[in-house]
Amino acid sequence: NASEVLLKQYVTDNASQHPRKHDTFIGYGTAGFRTGADLLDHVMFRVGLISALRSKSLGGKAIGVMITASHNPEPDNGVKLVDPLGEMLAPDWEKLSTSLANLSDDELPQAIIEKLIKPYSIDWQAPGLVYLGRDTRPSSVALAKAVIDGIACIGCELIDFDVVSTPIVHYLVASRNDESLGEPTREGYLKKLSGGFRRVCSQGKEKTRYNPTIKVDGANGVGAIVMKEFADEIDSDIIKIDIVYDGSSGRLNHECGADFVKVNQTYPPGLITPEKAIRFISLDGDADRVIYFYFDSNNAFRMLDGDKIATLFAEHLGGLVKQSGLSLSIGLVQSAYANGSSTNYIQDVLGIPVSCAPTGVKYLHHEAMKYDIGIYFEANGHGTAAFSSKSLSLIKDAAKSGENPATVELYEFTNIINSTVGDAISDLLAVEAILYSRDWTIEDWDSKYADLPNKLMKVLVKDRTVITTADAERKVVTPEGVQSKIDNVVAKYKNGRSFVRPSGTEDVVRVYAEADTKANADKLCSEVSAVVF
Protein backbone atom coordinates (compact mmCIF):
# COMPACT_ATOMS: atom_id res chain seq x y z
CA ASN A 1 0.00 0.00 0.00
CA ALA A 2 0.94 3.65 -0.44
CA SER A 3 1.97 4.25 3.15
CA GLU A 4 4.38 1.30 3.07
CA VAL A 5 5.85 2.41 -0.24
CA LEU A 6 6.43 5.85 1.22
CA LEU A 7 8.09 4.48 4.35
CA LYS A 8 10.36 2.23 2.31
CA GLN A 9 11.37 5.21 0.21
CA TYR A 10 12.23 7.26 3.32
CA VAL A 11 14.28 4.42 4.78
CA THR A 12 16.13 3.86 1.51
CA ASP A 13 16.97 7.54 1.12
CA ASN A 14 18.07 8.14 4.70
CA ALA A 15 19.92 4.87 5.18
CA SER A 16 22.29 5.96 2.42
CA GLN A 17 23.59 8.63 4.85
CA HIS A 18 24.51 5.85 7.28
CA PRO A 19 25.54 2.90 5.14
CA ARG A 20 26.66 -0.40 6.60
CA LYS A 21 30.36 -0.32 5.75
CA HIS A 22 31.43 -3.69 7.18
CA ASP A 23 29.87 -7.07 7.84
CA THR A 24 31.00 -7.65 11.41
CA PHE A 25 28.06 -9.19 13.26
CA ILE A 26 26.84 -6.99 16.12
CA GLY A 27 24.25 -8.38 18.56
CA TYR A 28 21.95 -6.76 21.11
CA GLY A 29 23.38 -8.26 24.31
CA THR A 30 22.82 -7.73 28.03
CA ALA A 31 24.06 -4.16 27.67
CA GLY A 32 22.54 -3.41 24.26
CA PHE A 33 24.78 -3.08 21.21
CA ARG A 34 28.39 -2.61 22.27
CA THR A 35 31.61 -2.68 20.26
CA GLY A 36 34.26 -0.40 18.74
CA ALA A 37 32.73 3.04 18.11
CA ASP A 38 33.84 3.00 14.47
CA LEU A 39 31.60 0.01 13.71
CA LEU A 40 28.39 1.56 15.00
CA ASP A 41 27.17 4.33 12.67
CA HIS A 42 24.64 2.25 10.72
CA VAL A 43 23.56 0.46 13.91
CA MET A 44 22.76 3.81 15.52
CA PHE A 45 20.70 4.94 12.54
CA ARG A 46 18.72 1.71 12.71
CA VAL A 47 18.27 2.07 16.49
CA GLY A 48 16.77 5.48 15.74
CA LEU A 49 14.25 3.84 13.40
CA ILE A 50 13.49 1.08 15.89
CA SER A 51 13.03 3.44 18.86
CA ALA A 52 10.53 5.62 17.00
CA LEU A 53 8.58 2.57 15.85
CA ARG A 54 8.73 1.02 19.33
CA SER A 55 7.15 4.17 20.76
CA LYS A 56 4.48 4.18 18.04
CA SER A 57 3.73 0.51 18.64
CA LEU A 58 2.98 1.41 22.28
CA GLY A 59 0.56 4.24 21.58
CA GLY A 60 3.22 6.95 21.63
CA LYS A 61 4.64 6.22 25.07
CA ALA A 62 8.14 7.60 25.64
CA ILE A 63 11.04 5.28 24.78
CA GLY A 64 14.64 5.94 25.81
CA VAL A 65 17.86 5.62 23.85
CA MET A 66 21.18 5.83 25.69
CA ILE A 67 24.50 5.96 23.87
CA THR A 68 27.27 4.62 26.06
CA ALA A 69 29.77 1.81 26.52
CA SER A 70 29.64 2.25 30.29
CA HIS A 71 32.85 1.09 32.01
CA ASN A 72 34.49 -0.11 28.77
CA PRO A 73 37.47 1.75 27.28
CA GLU A 74 36.89 5.12 25.68
CA PRO A 75 37.25 3.95 22.03
CA ASP A 76 34.28 1.58 22.50
CA ASN A 77 30.72 2.71 22.35
CA GLY A 78 27.25 1.25 22.44
CA VAL A 79 23.54 1.91 22.66
CA LYS A 80 20.58 0.54 24.51
CA LEU A 81 16.87 1.14 24.44
CA VAL A 82 14.73 1.83 27.49
CA ASP A 83 11.12 0.64 27.58
CA PRO A 84 8.21 2.75 28.92
CA LEU A 85 8.41 1.75 32.59
CA GLY A 86 12.12 2.60 32.60
CA GLU A 87 13.01 -1.05 32.20
CA MET A 88 15.20 -2.85 29.68
CA LEU A 89 13.90 -3.46 26.16
CA ALA A 90 11.45 -6.37 25.76
CA PRO A 91 13.21 -9.58 24.64
CA ASP A 92 11.34 -9.90 21.31
CA TRP A 93 12.48 -6.39 20.35
CA GLU A 94 16.06 -7.22 21.38
CA LYS A 95 15.99 -10.05 18.86
CA LEU A 96 14.43 -7.82 16.20
CA SER A 97 17.05 -5.16 16.86
CA THR A 98 19.83 -7.67 16.33
CA SER A 99 18.37 -8.90 13.11
CA LEU A 100 17.73 -5.40 11.70
CA ALA A 101 21.20 -4.18 12.72
CA ASN A 102 22.89 -6.88 10.67
CA LEU A 103 20.98 -6.67 7.39
CA SER A 104 22.45 -5.13 4.27
CA ASP A 105 21.31 -1.62 3.35
CA ASP A 106 19.25 -3.10 0.52
CA GLU A 107 17.40 -5.54 2.75
CA LEU A 108 16.57 -2.96 5.42
CA PRO A 109 13.48 -1.13 4.01
CA GLN A 110 11.51 -4.30 3.29
CA ALA A 111 12.53 -5.82 6.63
CA ILE A 112 11.17 -2.79 8.50
CA ILE A 113 7.80 -3.53 6.93
CA GLU A 114 7.92 -7.31 7.36
CA LYS A 115 9.43 -7.50 10.86
CA LEU A 116 7.98 -4.41 12.54
CA ILE A 117 5.16 -2.60 10.76
CA LYS A 118 3.09 -5.67 9.84
CA PRO A 119 3.50 -8.02 12.82
CA TYR A 120 3.03 -5.22 15.37
CA SER A 121 0.37 -3.38 13.31
CA ILE A 122 2.23 -0.11 13.65
CA ASP A 123 0.85 3.09 12.20
CA TRP A 124 4.20 4.71 11.48
CA GLN A 125 2.59 8.09 10.92
CA ALA A 126 1.03 8.14 14.40
CA PRO A 127 2.68 10.19 17.18
CA GLY A 128 5.72 8.85 19.02
CA LEU A 129 8.27 10.13 21.51
CA VAL A 130 11.93 9.27 22.03
CA TYR A 131 14.19 10.49 24.85
CA LEU A 132 17.85 10.49 23.85
CA GLY A 133 20.97 10.67 26.03
CA ARG A 134 24.67 10.07 25.58
CA ASP A 135 27.80 9.73 27.70
CA THR A 136 30.94 11.89 27.46
CA ARG A 137 32.76 9.77 24.86
CA PRO A 138 33.93 11.91 21.94
CA SER A 139 32.40 9.37 19.52
CA SER A 140 28.97 9.74 21.15
CA VAL A 141 28.31 13.06 19.40
CA ALA A 142 28.37 11.66 15.84
CA LEU A 143 26.61 8.48 16.93
CA ALA A 144 23.81 10.55 18.48
CA LYS A 145 23.46 12.32 15.13
CA ALA A 146 22.92 8.92 13.46
CA VAL A 147 20.19 8.02 15.98
CA ILE A 148 18.54 11.42 15.43
CA ASP A 149 18.56 10.85 11.67
CA GLY A 150 16.86 7.48 12.18
CA ILE A 151 14.17 9.03 14.38
CA ALA A 152 13.64 11.87 11.91
CA CYS A 153 13.32 9.40 9.05
CA ILE A 154 10.20 7.94 10.67
CA GLY A 155 8.97 11.33 11.84
CA CYS A 156 8.71 11.24 15.61
CA GLU A 157 9.06 13.68 18.49
CA LEU A 158 12.53 13.68 20.01
CA ILE A 159 13.79 15.19 23.25
CA ASP A 160 17.56 15.23 23.33
CA PHE A 161 19.03 15.35 26.84
CA ASP A 162 22.61 15.54 25.54
CA VAL A 163 25.20 14.36 28.06
CA VAL A 164 23.42 12.51 30.82
CA SER A 165 23.89 9.39 32.96
CA THR A 166 22.24 6.12 31.94
CA PRO A 167 20.03 5.97 35.07
CA ILE A 168 18.75 9.50 34.47
CA VAL A 169 17.45 8.37 31.06
CA HIS A 170 15.65 5.46 32.76
CA TYR A 171 14.15 7.85 35.32
CA LEU A 172 13.06 10.35 32.64
CA VAL A 173 11.31 7.71 30.56
CA ALA A 174 9.57 6.14 33.55
CA SER A 175 8.39 9.45 35.00
CA ARG A 176 7.23 10.73 31.62
CA ASN A 177 4.96 7.68 31.34
CA ASP A 178 3.87 7.67 35.00
CA GLU A 179 3.81 11.13 36.50
CA SER A 180 3.40 9.81 40.06
CA LEU A 181 7.12 8.94 39.90
CA GLY A 182 8.23 12.56 39.64
CA GLU A 183 8.73 15.38 37.19
CA PRO A 184 10.20 14.06 33.91
CA THR A 185 13.05 16.55 33.71
CA ARG A 186 16.65 16.55 34.79
CA GLU A 187 15.76 19.20 37.37
CA GLY A 188 12.94 16.97 38.61
CA TYR A 189 15.38 14.10 39.09
CA LEU A 190 17.86 16.26 40.95
CA LYS A 191 15.19 17.78 43.20
CA LYS A 192 13.51 14.46 44.00
CA LEU A 193 16.68 12.64 45.06
CA SER A 194 18.40 15.55 46.80
CA GLY A 195 15.17 16.54 48.58
CA GLY A 196 14.77 13.09 50.09
CA PHE A 197 18.43 13.01 51.02
CA ARG A 198 18.37 16.43 52.66
CA ARG A 199 15.30 15.58 54.70
CA VAL A 200 16.72 12.29 56.04
CA CYS A 201 20.09 13.89 56.82
CA SER A 202 18.69 16.76 58.83
CA GLN A 203 16.70 14.53 61.20
CA GLY A 204 17.64 13.03 64.51
CA LYS A 205 20.10 13.93 67.17
CA GLU A 206 23.69 15.07 66.75
CA LYS A 207 25.84 12.45 65.05
CA THR A 208 29.02 11.37 66.74
CA ARG A 209 30.32 8.68 64.39
CA TYR A 210 29.08 9.59 60.91
CA ASN A 211 31.63 11.69 59.03
CA PRO A 212 30.00 13.83 56.31
CA THR A 213 33.04 13.95 54.02
CA ILE A 214 33.24 11.86 50.87
CA LYS A 215 35.58 11.69 47.92
CA VAL A 216 33.94 10.66 44.66
CA ASP A 217 35.88 9.14 41.74
CA GLY A 218 33.87 10.19 38.69
CA ALA A 219 35.73 7.83 36.30
CA ASN A 220 36.38 10.95 34.17
CA GLY A 221 32.85 10.61 32.88
CA VAL A 222 29.30 11.86 33.14
CA GLY A 223 29.05 10.74 36.79
CA ALA A 224 31.38 13.59 37.72
CA ILE A 225 29.10 16.09 35.99
CA VAL A 226 25.93 14.81 37.67
CA MET A 227 27.70 14.55 41.04
CA LYS A 228 28.73 18.18 40.73
CA GLU A 229 25.08 19.13 40.20
CA PHE A 230 24.16 17.30 43.41
CA ALA A 231 27.04 18.91 45.29
CA ASP A 232 25.69 22.32 44.26
CA GLU A 233 22.17 21.33 45.29
CA ILE A 234 22.97 19.89 48.74
CA ASP A 235 24.25 22.11 51.54
CA SER A 236 27.88 21.32 52.41
CA ASP A 237 26.88 21.32 56.09
CA ILE A 238 25.03 18.11 55.30
CA ILE A 239 27.67 16.46 53.14
CA LYS A 240 31.04 17.60 51.78
CA ILE A 241 31.59 16.14 48.33
CA ASP A 242 35.04 16.27 46.80
CA ILE A 243 35.11 15.04 43.20
CA VAL A 244 38.25 13.51 41.70
CA TYR A 245 38.67 12.00 38.22
CA ASP A 246 36.23 14.66 37.10
CA GLY A 247 37.18 14.49 33.43
CA SER A 248 39.29 17.63 33.46
CA SER A 249 42.46 15.73 32.53
CA GLY A 250 42.43 11.91 32.52
CA ARG A 251 40.80 9.51 30.11
CA LEU A 252 37.38 7.94 30.69
CA ASN A 253 37.55 4.80 32.88
CA HIS A 254 41.34 4.76 32.57
CA GLU A 255 42.89 3.55 35.85
CA CYS A 256 39.90 4.85 37.75
CA GLY A 257 36.21 4.18 38.20
CA ALA A 258 34.11 1.40 39.71
CA ASP A 259 35.13 -1.36 37.29
CA PHE A 260 38.84 -0.65 37.74
CA VAL A 261 38.51 -0.75 41.53
CA LYS A 262 36.34 -3.89 41.60
CA VAL A 263 38.33 -5.91 39.07
CA ASN A 264 41.77 -5.00 40.40
CA GLN A 265 40.64 -4.92 44.03
CA THR A 266 42.70 -1.80 44.55
CA TYR A 267 42.35 2.00 44.50
CA PRO A 268 42.97 4.19 41.45
CA PRO A 269 46.74 4.85 41.33
CA GLY A 270 46.20 8.57 40.88
CA LEU A 271 44.97 8.86 44.47
CA ILE A 272 48.46 9.55 45.67
CA THR A 273 47.80 9.97 49.37
CA PRO A 274 45.25 7.48 50.54
CA GLU A 275 43.56 9.30 53.38
CA LYS A 276 42.28 7.48 56.41
CA ALA A 277 38.74 7.79 57.70
CA ILE A 278 37.41 9.08 54.40
CA ARG A 279 34.91 7.22 52.30
CA PHE A 280 35.97 6.92 48.67
CA ILE A 281 33.29 6.19 46.13
CA SER A 282 34.01 5.11 42.56
CA LEU A 283 31.39 5.50 39.84
CA ASP A 284 31.62 3.96 36.38
CA GLY A 285 31.65 5.70 33.00
CA ASP A 286 27.87 6.15 32.70
CA ALA A 287 27.17 6.34 36.45
CA ASP A 288 25.12 3.20 36.95
CA ARG A 289 27.64 1.31 39.09
CA VAL A 290 29.17 2.27 42.40
CA ILE A 291 31.89 0.82 44.65
CA TYR A 292 32.93 2.15 48.08
CA PHE A 293 36.40 1.80 49.57
CA TYR A 294 38.51 3.13 52.42
CA PHE A 295 41.83 2.63 54.17
CA ASP A 296 41.63 1.05 57.60
CA SER A 297 43.69 1.85 60.69
CA ASN A 298 46.54 -0.27 59.30
CA ASN A 299 46.31 1.64 56.02
CA ALA A 300 45.03 -1.48 54.29
CA PHE A 301 42.68 -1.01 51.30
CA ARG A 302 39.15 -2.22 52.05
CA MET A 303 36.47 -2.45 49.37
CA LEU A 304 32.70 -2.44 49.87
CA ASP A 305 31.10 -3.69 46.68
CA GLY A 306 27.55 -4.25 45.45
CA ASP A 307 27.02 -7.09 47.94
CA LYS A 308 27.91 -4.85 50.87
CA ILE A 309 25.58 -2.13 49.57
CA ALA A 310 22.79 -4.68 49.09
CA THR A 311 23.11 -5.92 52.66
CA LEU A 312 23.12 -2.35 53.99
CA PHE A 313 19.96 -1.58 52.01
CA ALA A 314 18.32 -4.80 53.19
CA GLU A 315 19.19 -4.25 56.81
CA HIS A 316 18.02 -0.65 56.87
CA LEU A 317 14.93 -0.82 54.68
CA GLY A 318 13.96 -4.12 56.34
CA GLY A 319 14.23 -2.41 59.73
CA LEU A 320 12.13 0.55 58.63
CA VAL A 321 9.43 -1.73 57.24
CA LYS A 322 9.25 -3.54 60.58
CA GLN A 323 9.11 -0.33 62.59
CA SER A 324 6.48 1.13 60.30
CA GLY A 325 4.25 -1.88 60.85
CA LEU A 326 3.38 -1.96 57.14
CA SER A 327 2.71 -5.33 55.63
CA LEU A 328 5.25 -5.34 52.80
CA SER A 329 7.35 -8.25 51.58
CA ILE A 330 11.06 -7.58 51.22
CA GLY A 331 13.63 -9.74 49.49
CA LEU A 332 17.07 -9.60 47.93
CA VAL A 333 18.28 -10.80 44.56
CA GLN A 334 21.92 -11.50 43.74
CA SER A 335 23.84 -13.05 40.87
CA ALA A 336 26.22 -16.02 41.17
CA TYR A 337 29.07 -13.54 41.71
CA ALA A 338 27.67 -12.51 45.09
CA ASN A 339 30.12 -13.28 47.84
CA GLY A 340 29.02 -16.35 49.82
CA SER A 341 29.43 -14.46 53.09
CA SER A 342 26.94 -11.82 52.00
CA THR A 343 24.34 -14.44 51.10
CA ASN A 344 24.76 -16.15 54.48
CA TYR A 345 24.57 -12.84 56.35
CA ILE A 346 21.34 -11.76 54.65
CA GLN A 347 19.64 -15.13 55.08
CA ASP A 348 20.90 -16.19 58.48
CA VAL A 349 21.41 -12.92 60.34
CA LEU A 350 18.90 -10.57 58.72
CA GLY A 351 16.36 -13.28 58.01
CA ILE A 352 15.58 -11.82 54.60
CA PRO A 353 15.01 -14.21 51.66
CA VAL A 354 17.67 -14.27 48.94
CA SER A 355 17.35 -15.54 45.39
CA CYS A 356 19.86 -15.85 42.59
CA ALA A 357 19.34 -14.67 39.00
CA PRO A 358 21.54 -14.86 35.90
CA THR A 359 23.98 -11.99 35.29
CA GLY A 360 22.41 -8.90 33.72
CA VAL A 361 20.25 -6.26 35.32
CA LYS A 362 17.06 -7.27 33.55
CA TYR A 363 17.12 -10.72 35.13
CA LEU A 364 17.76 -9.39 38.62
CA HIS A 365 15.18 -6.65 38.26
CA HIS A 366 12.58 -9.10 37.05
CA GLU A 367 13.16 -11.37 40.04
CA ALA A 368 13.12 -8.41 42.44
CA MET A 369 9.66 -7.38 41.22
CA LYS A 370 8.27 -10.46 42.97
CA TYR A 371 8.59 -8.58 46.26
CA ASP A 372 6.92 -5.35 47.40
CA ILE A 373 10.44 -4.07 48.03
CA GLY A 374 12.95 -6.05 45.96
CA ILE A 375 16.58 -5.15 46.46
CA TYR A 376 18.99 -6.38 43.82
CA PHE A 377 22.69 -5.84 43.28
CA GLU A 378 25.43 -7.36 41.23
CA ALA A 379 28.74 -7.59 43.08
CA ASN A 380 30.12 -5.08 40.54
CA GLY A 381 28.01 -2.36 42.13
CA HIS A 382 25.03 -2.27 39.79
CA GLY A 383 21.71 -2.40 41.59
CA THR A 384 18.86 -0.69 43.37
CA ALA A 385 15.76 -1.30 45.44
CA ALA A 386 12.68 -1.73 43.27
CA PHE A 387 9.49 -0.54 44.98
CA SER A 388 6.26 -1.96 43.61
CA SER A 389 3.49 0.54 42.88
CA LYS A 390 1.53 -1.04 45.75
CA SER A 391 4.37 -0.38 48.18
CA LEU A 392 4.87 3.17 46.90
CA SER A 393 1.27 4.18 47.50
CA LEU A 394 1.05 2.34 50.83
CA ILE A 395 4.21 4.00 52.13
CA LYS A 396 3.17 7.43 50.86
CA ASP A 397 -0.25 7.23 52.52
CA ALA A 398 1.15 5.94 55.78
CA ALA A 399 3.80 8.67 55.92
CA LYS A 400 1.31 11.52 55.45
CA SER A 401 0.37 11.87 59.10
CA GLY A 402 4.04 12.16 60.05
CA GLU A 403 3.35 10.21 63.24
CA ASN A 404 5.84 7.40 62.81
CA PRO A 405 9.39 8.62 62.02
CA ALA A 406 10.31 5.21 60.55
CA THR A 407 7.46 5.44 58.04
CA VAL A 408 8.47 8.98 57.10
CA GLU A 409 12.07 7.89 56.60
CA LEU A 410 10.97 4.92 54.52
CA TYR A 411 8.99 7.32 52.35
CA GLU A 412 12.06 9.53 51.91
CA PHE A 413 14.03 6.50 50.72
CA THR A 414 11.48 6.06 47.96
CA ASN A 415 12.52 9.56 46.82
CA ILE A 416 16.26 8.98 47.16
CA ILE A 417 16.31 5.61 45.42
CA ASN A 418 15.98 5.51 41.64
CA SER A 419 13.83 2.43 41.48
CA THR A 420 13.92 2.03 37.70
CA VAL A 421 17.50 0.77 37.44
CA GLY A 422 20.87 0.75 39.23
CA ASP A 423 21.97 4.35 39.69
CA ALA A 424 25.41 5.06 41.15
CA ILE A 425 24.57 8.49 42.50
CA SER A 426 21.19 7.50 43.87
CA ASP A 427 22.82 4.48 45.54
CA LEU A 428 25.55 6.72 46.96
CA LEU A 429 22.97 9.10 48.44
CA ALA A 430 21.03 6.17 49.88
CA VAL A 431 24.15 4.65 51.47
CA GLU A 432 25.09 8.02 52.96
CA ALA A 433 21.57 8.57 54.28
CA ILE A 434 21.63 5.12 55.90
CA LEU A 435 25.04 5.66 57.49
CA TYR A 436 23.80 9.04 58.75
CA SER A 437 20.55 7.62 60.07
CA ARG A 438 22.38 4.83 61.93
CA ASP A 439 25.29 7.10 62.88
CA TRP A 440 27.71 4.56 61.47
CA THR A 441 31.27 4.85 60.24
CA ILE A 442 32.28 2.91 57.16
CA GLU A 443 34.09 0.46 59.48
CA ASP A 444 30.80 -0.14 61.33
CA TRP A 445 29.20 -1.02 58.01
CA ASP A 446 32.14 -3.12 56.85
CA SER A 447 32.30 -5.10 60.11
CA LYS A 448 28.89 -6.79 59.58
CA TYR A 449 30.45 -9.69 57.73
CA ALA A 450 33.83 -10.52 56.18
CA ASP A 451 33.96 -11.24 52.46
CA LEU A 452 35.37 -14.60 51.47
CA PRO A 453 38.57 -14.12 49.44
CA ASN A 454 37.76 -14.52 45.75
CA LYS A 455 39.20 -14.45 42.28
CA LEU A 456 37.75 -13.76 38.84
CA MET A 457 39.60 -14.80 35.70
CA LYS A 458 38.80 -14.48 32.04
CA VAL A 459 39.85 -17.17 29.66
CA LEU A 460 40.10 -16.84 25.89
CA VAL A 461 38.49 -19.75 24.07
CA LYS A 462 37.80 -20.58 20.46
CA ASP A 463 34.06 -20.67 20.88
CA ARG A 464 32.51 -19.56 24.15
CA THR A 465 29.05 -20.73 23.11
CA VAL A 466 29.97 -24.40 23.67
CA ILE A 467 29.58 -23.64 27.37
CA THR A 468 25.99 -23.51 28.49
CA THR A 469 24.79 -23.17 32.05
CA ALA A 470 21.74 -23.66 34.26
CA ASP A 471 20.66 -22.78 37.80
CA ALA A 472 21.32 -19.04 37.37
CA GLU A 473 24.71 -19.78 35.77
CA ARG A 474 25.93 -21.79 38.75
CA LYS A 475 26.12 -25.15 36.93
CA VAL A 476 27.66 -26.07 33.60
CA VAL A 477 25.34 -28.14 31.40
CA THR A 478 27.56 -28.55 28.34
CA PRO A 479 30.18 -29.76 27.58
CA GLU A 480 29.01 -32.83 29.42
CA GLY A 481 31.12 -33.98 32.35
CA VAL A 482 32.65 -30.57 33.03
CA GLN A 483 30.45 -29.84 36.04
CA SER A 484 31.35 -33.04 37.87
CA LYS A 485 35.03 -32.27 37.35
CA ILE A 486 34.47 -28.77 38.78
CA ASP A 487 32.62 -30.30 41.74
CA ASN A 488 35.57 -32.60 42.45
CA VAL A 489 38.03 -29.71 42.44
CA VAL A 490 35.82 -27.47 44.59
CA ALA A 491 35.34 -30.23 47.18
CA LYS A 492 39.05 -30.04 48.06
CA TYR A 493 38.75 -26.43 49.29
CA LYS A 494 37.41 -25.12 52.57
CA ASN A 495 34.48 -22.74 51.87
CA GLY A 496 35.15 -23.43 48.19
CA ARG A 497 32.71 -22.34 45.51
CA SER A 498 33.33 -21.83 41.83
CA PHE A 499 31.43 -21.43 38.58
CA VAL A 500 32.10 -20.89 34.89
CA ARG A 501 30.00 -18.87 32.46
CA PRO A 502 30.35 -17.44 28.96
CA SER A 503 30.52 -13.63 29.02
CA GLY A 504 27.58 -11.76 27.53
CA THR A 505 29.70 -8.77 26.53
CA GLU A 506 33.13 -10.07 25.54
CA ASP A 507 34.45 -13.04 23.60
CA VAL A 508 35.70 -14.79 26.75
CA VAL A 509 34.65 -17.27 29.39
CA ARG A 510 34.68 -16.11 33.01
CA VAL A 511 35.75 -18.27 35.93
CA TYR A 512 34.90 -17.23 39.50
CA ALA A 513 36.15 -18.87 42.67
CA GLU A 514 36.05 -18.18 46.38
CA ALA A 515 37.67 -20.01 49.31
CA ASP A 516 38.92 -19.55 52.85
CA THR A 517 42.14 -17.73 51.89
CA LYS A 518 43.18 -15.55 48.97
CA ALA A 519 45.85 -18.06 47.96
CA ASN A 520 43.27 -20.84 47.90
CA ALA A 521 40.77 -18.75 45.94
CA ASP A 522 43.44 -18.03 43.34
CA LYS A 523 44.47 -21.69 43.22
CA LEU A 524 40.90 -22.91 42.94
CA CYS A 525 40.25 -20.46 40.12
CA SER A 526 43.28 -21.69 38.16
CA GLU A 527 42.38 -25.33 38.76
CA VAL A 528 38.83 -24.84 37.54
CA SER A 529 40.09 -22.94 34.48
CA ALA A 530 42.37 -25.90 33.72
CA VAL A 531 39.41 -28.29 33.96
CA VAL A 532 37.45 -26.35 31.41
CA PHE A 533 40.22 -25.60 28.95
User: Binding ligand 16G by CB under 6 A: which of 262, 382, 438, 455?
Assistant: 382
Say whether residue 323 binds ligand 16G (CB under 6 A): no
Active site residue 139: no
Per-residue mark of binding to Zn ion, 336-355 (x: CB under 5 A)? --------------------
Cis peptide before 353 (omega within 30 of 0): no
Question: Which residue stretch of 62-70, 120-128, 223-231, 489-497 sits at the interface with Zn ion (rule: CB under 5 A)?
Answer: 62-70
Of 217 and 409, CB closest to Zn ion: 217
286 binding Zn ion? (CB under 5 A): yes
Residue of 158, 110, 114, 128 whose CA lies nearest to 57? 128
The answer to whether residues 221 and 283 touch, using CB atoms and an 8 Å cutoff, is yes
Shortest spacing between CB 70 and Zn ion, in angstroms:
3
Residue 361, binding choice from Zn ion, ligand 16G, none, Cβ under 5 to 8 Å by partner class:
ligand 16G
The site string for Zn ion over 265-284 (x = CB under 5 A, - otherwise) reads -------------------x
Q: What is the SS3 assignment for 514?
A: strand
**Of 78, 510, 513, 529, the one binding ligand 16G by CB under 6 A:** 510
Contact status: 384 vs Zn ion (CB under 5 A):
no
Which positions ≥6 away from 252 have C-beta within 8 Å? 73, 74, 135, 136, 137, 219, 220, 221, 285
Per-residue binding letters, 490-509, with ligand 16G (x by CB under 6 A): -------------xxxx---
Which ranges of 202-334 would DSSP assign to H, the alpha helix? 222-233, 257-264, 306-324
Q: Is 520 in the site for ligand 16G (CB under 6 A)?
A: no
Q: Looking at 55, 70, 419, 437, which residue is catalytic?
A: 70
C-beta closer to ligand 16G: residue 314 or 361: 361
What is the DSSP secondary structure assignment for residue 161, as one 8-state letter?
Answer: E
Our CA angle for 32, 33, 38, nearest 5°, is: 150
Residue spans of alpha helices (H) in 304-383: 306-324, 340-344, 361-368
Number of residues written out for the chain: 533
Scan residues 339-378 and list those touching ligand 16G (CB under 6 A): 359-361, 378
CB hemisphere CA count around 73 (13 angstroms): 5
Task: Give the CB-side neighbour count of residue 34, counting CA atoms within 13 A.
Answer: 18
Q: Is 469 in the site for Zn ion (CB under 5 A)?
A: no
Among 288, 307, 378, 527, binds Zn ion (CB under 5 A): 288
Residue 474 as a binder of ligand 16G (CB under 6 A): the answer is: no
Catalytic residue numbers read: 70
Residue ranges binding Zn ion (CB under 5 A):
70, 284, 286, 288
